[in-house]
Amino acid sequence: MSRTPPRSLLRALARPRFLLSPWPLRALLYAAATPVAALLWGPPLLLLALPWLLLIAAVADSPQGSLPPPGPTVLLIAVGTALLAGIGPFAALPGAALERLRVRLIDDRPLPAPHRAPRRPGLGAWIAARYTEGATWRGMAVLALSALLFLPLTAGVGMLLVIGAALVAAPVIVAVDGGTVNLGVWEFDGLAHAWIPALAGVAVLAAGAYACGATAAAQGELVRFMQRDRPEETLRAELTEVTRSRARLVDAFEAERRRIERDLHDGAQQRLVALSVKLGLARLDLPEGSAARQSLAEAQEQAKSALVELRELVRGIHPQVLTDRGLPGALPELADRCAVPAEADVALDRRLPAHIEATAYFAVAEALANTAKHSGAGGAWVHARLEGPTLVVEVADDGRGGARAGGGGGLTGLADRAAVADGRILLSSPPGGPTLLRVELPCPQR
């Protein structure tokens, strides 16, 4: 079974066939471009660091390494700090962009620009965005580390590769020049002795290839460090898509609930009604007090009980009154069916989106059910109104309080459902009561 080819030099280094792949050549090209890139972004950073370099030189020239006079010292420190902090990040932007472009030599993974878009047009907004984001400062740090660490390492690896290439070329040198050949660390004469340094040169080249790959891979990962903050536009687009997908799922879920409710109402529920009627008619044809008549009566009662349970199930899936009349009709019905005396005050001048109505309805149903089971309240109140573009539904009771959301209970599920609709649920239930559940759901007029 074939293995997936690596997409980066770092992964390729762990493969046993690294030396036979194109990655050593790509690493060599990347390493060879390091001094060229340094010539482009190095001078601006060198000019910015010039006050600090002058200060270091002044300290080195002072007797016993003491500081120069306070006046010039403070001036150099102030100028150096101002340049590095004020101009350094912007001077490093072209160099950081070049490093992102160059890293594609050793990494096939996409590397988008990490900078976020300004919040408003204009040069001032652009400067503020660049100065306040972490990617700009990390880019400056990456360039400094490249100059101080990776440039010397790359030079050392280059010397190793040159020595290896010279040793490998020993037979050719002997064949061309003849006589004794001196390669600095190795002196030999005759073609018969030239093969020994040539074999050693192959080993040196192999070690140099791995060293070059490791150095280039480390520098490439350092450049990727600049990308730790993802672009704001990408995050915003993904968040928007997640929000839209959640809204689509909610709409699909509500449509499926209504379909199930309709099928149960028009199918199973009507069959149970017909069965109950037929059992009643059949019971009338039997003699009074007979065993068969008693059995039919029991069967009819069971059919009626099943019908009541099915109606409760249908109402829990999606009540028909909510579909027909909306919250002004559904919430008072909920209050009437509550085991605790409850009043409903619904002040809405228009129908709301279906998923908003369903979320509000089931929030009230859950709150009233909890009131009846746990609160010991003597009364409950339901208020629903529009406050601007927001539907506000409040359920209050005069019970003992102490209600808590969490632990995977019904209130947690309602909070998740409200979050899908970009809403929220607030709960106030101190020990001793009263309890207030407030549901806020955005529903701008469409």
- Residue 139's pLDDT is 81
In 285-353, which residue ranges form alpha helices assigned H by DSSP? 291-317, 320-325, 327-337
Q: How far is CA 191 from CA 97, 163, 171, 184, in A?
A: 50, 19, 6, 18
Q: Say which residue the tokens 């109140």 belong to.
A: 381
Averaged pLDDT, 234-249: 63
Burial class (CB in 10 A: 0-12, 13-18, 19+), 140: buried
- Residue 72's pLDDT is 61
- Residue 410's pLDDT is 64
- Residue 26's pLDDT is 92
Q: How far is CA 50 from CA 42, 132, 148, 410, in A?
A: 12, 25, 15, 66
Residue of higher predicted confidence among 332 and 171: 332
- Residue 225's pLDDT is 77
| 274-286 pLDDT tens trace | 777 777 778 777 7
- Residue 2's pLDDT is 45
Q: Can you tell me the distance from the alpha carbon of 162 to that of 166, in angstroms, rounded to the nearest whole number?
A: 6
Residue of higher predicted confidence among 181 and 322: 322
Q: Can you tell me the distance from the alpha carbon of 417 to that of 396, in angstroms, rounded to the nearest whole number?
A: 20
| 393-424 pLDDT tens trace | 999 888 888 777 665 556 777 777 787 777 88
Top-confidence range, 66-70, 231-235, 373-377: 373-377
- Residue 164's pLDDT is 85
Averaged pLDDT, 139-149: 81
- CATH superfamily, domain 321-442, is Histidine kinase-like ATPase, C-terminal domain (3.30.565.10)
Q: Which amino acid is it at 339?
A: A
Delimit the domains of the chain by residue range.
9-225, 245-317, 321-442
Sheet holding 424-428, edge to edge: 342-347, 380-387, 390-397, 435-442, 424-428
Averaged pLDDT, 79-87: 64
Q: Flag whether pLDDT at 1 surpasses 60.
A: no
| 289-344 pLDDT tens trace | 777 777 877 787 777 777 776 666 655 566 777 777 888 888 888 888 888 888 88
Q: What's the CA dihedral at 319, 322, 325, 326 to 10 degrees?
A: 170
Q: Can you tell me the distance from the alpha carbon of 209 to that of 222, in angstroms, rounded to the nearest whole number?
A: 20
Radius of gyration of the chain (CA): 40
Say if residues 254 and 318 touch (Cβ distance below 8 Å). Answer: yes
Burial class (CB in 10 A: 0-12, 13-18, 19+), 157: buried
Q: Flag whether pLDDT at 210 surpasses 90.
A: yes
Query: By three-state DSSP, how is residue 338 classified?
Result: coil
User: What DSSP state is assigned to residue 226?
Assistant: T
Averaged pLDDT, 40-51: 65
Question: For all residues of the chain together, what is the average pLDDT?
Answer: 77
pLDDT tier, 28 (very low <50, low <70, confident <90, very high otherwise): very high
Of the ranges 145-154, 197-206, 237-246, 409-418, which one carries the lowest mean pLDDT score? 237-246
Say if residues 363 and 393 touch (Cβ distance below 8 Å). Answer: yes
- Residue 122's pLDDT is 82
